[in-house]
Chain A
Amino acid sequence: MASTPIITRLKRPALLLLVAIFAFLAVDRAVGALLREGLDRYFGLDQLEAVLLVGHSHVVLGVDKNLLERELGLPVANYARAGAQLDDRILMARHYARLHPDGVRAIVFGVDNHLFTASGLSANSYSQFYPHMGDPLVGPMLRESAPGWDYRQRQISHLARYDDVLLNAAIRGWMGNWNNAVGGQFKPDVLAAEVASGDFRHISIDDTQVAQMEAFLDESEQKGWPVLLAFIPTTAQWQAVEPEKAAQVEALLRRLADAHANVTFIDLREPWQHREEFFIDPLHLNAEGSREVTADLSRKIAPLIPGAQDNTQ
């Protein structure tokens, strides 16, 4: 009996393999595109001539995007990511500016005591940029920061570019939901115990970080972007952990603002840092706190942003 030719035997499995590859690519690309669109909406990367907010979790939770838009009468792009360090924030500002070369109305740049501390916030904050790895600004940064195989996996699969935080943001972008939904209550005794044990992130001023910031502010001055260095409040107890270093950071921020005509330092700490009920932990505001701080922020920045409605009355 003649055996079946190998080509005939492999025809069916080859077809099944093609079906599997096609199904994978179709779903991966289609869902990936949907998620990317949702993420861009969430970050406001689709917003033209918006007031751009960049920062890390302080800004994510501390600024109510909808309220700020209503108060300023302008679109707001809340392009803030948990764990974003100074270089990430600068990259985000440049990313938005690259997408909208003539559309940067103002940049509200989240700052805090740890702005110039080089380590300790996030070891892999680059991973939050994977969905935008095709961008000519973001791509090279990822190629440099990410382990090779990690990077290549995400070149193959668009879905692999998302973690829970990004997936949540993409879904919220489609739903138009920017609410601060994080629960919890600041516990001063827990912070006191952490401080007593030395188990907290210490403030330091890294020269490289300072130079990076200066270069970015020079660039923004040259390009005519108004930059508002916004100090989103943290608790007074947290501010008091390393008061001398905190004062040095504040002085540095004020010096940078003074050295650039387009830069203003906006200190939002008072009076909110004393309102413990507005915080979920030593660092982050809850929904109620974020509304109060946002209203305060809008009052302080409206006169500095071209086209913003006057809400100081």
Chain B
Amino acid sequence: MLFNSWEYIVFLVVVTVAFFAMPMRWRVPFLLVASYYFYMQWDWKFAFLIGSVTWANWEAGRRIADTDSQRARKAWLWMALVISLGVLFFFKYFNFFNESFRAAFEAGGMTYMVPYLPIILPVGVSFFTFQALSYPIDVYRGDHGPERNLTRFATYVVFFPQLIAGPIERASTLLDQFKERHRFDIDRFGSGVQLIIWGLFKKVVIADRLGVYVDEIYAAPELYDGSTLLLATYFFAFQIYCDFSAYSDIAIGSARILGFNLSKNFALPYLATSIADFWRRWHISLTSWFRSYVYYPLGGNRVSTLAWMRNIWIVFVVSGVWHGAAWTFVIWGALHAAYYVVQWVWNKLVPTPANPSWWAVLLGMLVTFHAVVLAWVFFRAESISDAWLVVTTILTDTGAMPDLGPSRFTAAINIALIVFLMGIQVLQSRGWISLYFSPSRFPPAMRAAGSAMLVCGIALLGVSSSAFIYFQF
């Protein structure tokens, strides 16, 4: 059941009406059932998997809280880590490592006996394992108390708006909301619907349109010149942003209608003026997860410069691997780590003034954007050799006009939509248009009319629904 489908809209309406109509004590169990129903639309068998991960982390959290023995606490935490990461490893990474070992053995002239396993990747596995795992770690650290109610904890793990592709929540931000009494609030309903409409517009009008061109070019990059590959890569940068942020917007809007607050996941990332700034704006919930559970435990920046650099590399490479079991994602993460270090060196050499001029800000945005775009090549390409071909062709063969595909009219619409998106984002950054429920300078009637215009845009320019890119992670 895709967010960008009528089935989801009907599902959300039914769940909302039923949720607010039923007595308080039934609401959380009802959300649990609804969320499992939502997940089982993909593959009912994986409900057992998500149930196992839920139980393991809940049990670990309870046991950690109930024992005074540091050894036992550590053992229970390890149990949760092994089960959660074991599930993630088996379903997502087994074949990647297996095939990598096979290649290495065969290169060395040795026989490798472990067969390839036809494993189906459960949708959203990276998201729900991380969300579940954060709970026993928080209990172990004393950042959150144990949740005695399994139903409540299970609902926290599978809460349908953010189950498949985040935002990745923590017990402290979401779990406790299941204890609150939620009342239907017409203002929250209105703002949630507006955010859902904006998300749908970004998905079906911008991301899916750009995806048609990007898929065509990246399917056979050897057939195209540098300017075409460059255009496809720019398009991909906006496609993945619109696709992923659309999912987050629809998730946050859906939860808001039901009375829940999810974390902000994107904050105008292509207006970032540095790589550090970009990572404060892009996939914020994942960045925050890695910061809390990987970067800080490694020592964060309270270590020597060399150790800090090591920490940065570890976090970004792990983040790359989290996205996908392929070397292209590893390079994507490593590139961002390299950018981070380069930026650190640059800041040492050229201290940033307190009030930089407008052109310095613009230059920072452009440099950051293009660094991110370069890394996206590795994220999107089918293989490292394809990515390398794209990069080298862009750098060496950019004389001709790009191949705009079968319709120049469609290409013109695509470019106009990117300009429109960036225009909206500039207005959001200036506070004219609301960004995640922040105040807007436009009156409510104008905002309602604006949402109606977006629906018109979806009707006229939307293309056939396709799955969200981040579902594969």
Contacts of B186 in A (CB 8 A): 9-10, 13
CB neighbors of B among A22-45 (8 A)? 22-24, 27-28, 31
Q: A10-B186, A164-B409, A164-B413 are in contact. Are A28 and B448 (CB under 8 A)?
A: no
Q: B410 on the interface (CB 8 Å rule)?
A: yes
The SS class assigned to the A binding surface is helix
Interface size class of A (residues with CB under 8 A): 20 to 34
Q: How far is the CB of B409 from chain A (nearest CB, A)?
A: 4
Q: B415 on the interface (CB 8 Å rule)?
A: no
Q: What sequence of 0s and 1s flags, for each residue 152-170 of chain B, a beta carbon within 8 Å of any chain A beta carbon?
A: 0000000000000000000
Q: B109 on the interface (CB 8 Å rule)?
A: no
Contacts of B409 in A (CB 8 A): 164, 167-168
In the bound complex, how far is the Cα of B408 from the Cα of A157, in angstroms?
26
Among the stretches B320-328, B373-381, B451-459, the one at the interface with A is B451-459
Residue of A nearest to B462 (CB): A160
In the bound complex, how far is the Cα of B453 from the Cα of A10, in angstroms?
23
Most buried by A among B408, B452, B459: B459
Contacts of B410 in A (CB 8 A): 164
Contacts of B6 in A (CB 8 A): 149
Q: A261 on the interface (CB 8 Å rule)?
A: no
Contact of A16 among B448, B455, B459, B460 (CB under 8 A): B448
For the A-B complex, the count of residue pairs with Cβ-Cβ distances under 8 Å equals: 57
Structural contact, A17 and B460, CB atoms closer than 8 A: no
In the bound complex, how far is the Cα of B444 from the Cα of A149, in angstroms?
32
Contacts of B189 in A (CB 8 A): 13
Contacts of B306 in A (CB 8 A): none
Structural contact, A27 and B452, CB atoms closer than 8 A: yes
Contacts of B456 in A (CB 8 A): 24, 27-28, 31, 157, 159
Structural contact, B460 and A159, CB atoms closer than 8 A: yes
Inter-chain pairs besides A13-B190, A16-B445, 19 sampled, C-beta below 8 Å = A13-B186, A13-B187, A13-B189, A16-B448, A17-B448, A19-B448, A19-B449, A21-B452, A23-B452, A24-B452, A24-B453, A24-B456, A27-B456, A31-B460, A149-B6, A157-B456, A164-B407, A168-B407, A168-B409
B interface vs A, CB < 8 Å? 6, 186-187, 189-190, 407-410, 413, 444-445, 448-449, 451-453, 455-456, 459-460
- 21 A–B pairs (Cβ distance < 8 Å), ordered by A: A10-B186, A13-B190, A16-B444, A17-B448, A19-B448, A19-B452, A20-B449, A23-B452, A24-B453, A24-B455, A31-B456, A31-B460, A157-B456, A159-B456, A159-B459, A159-B460, A164-B410, A164-B413, A165-B407, A167-B460, A181-B408
A interface vs B, CB < 8 Å? 9-10, 12-13, 15-17, 19-24, 27-28, 31, 149, 157, 159-160, 162, 164-165, 167-168, 181
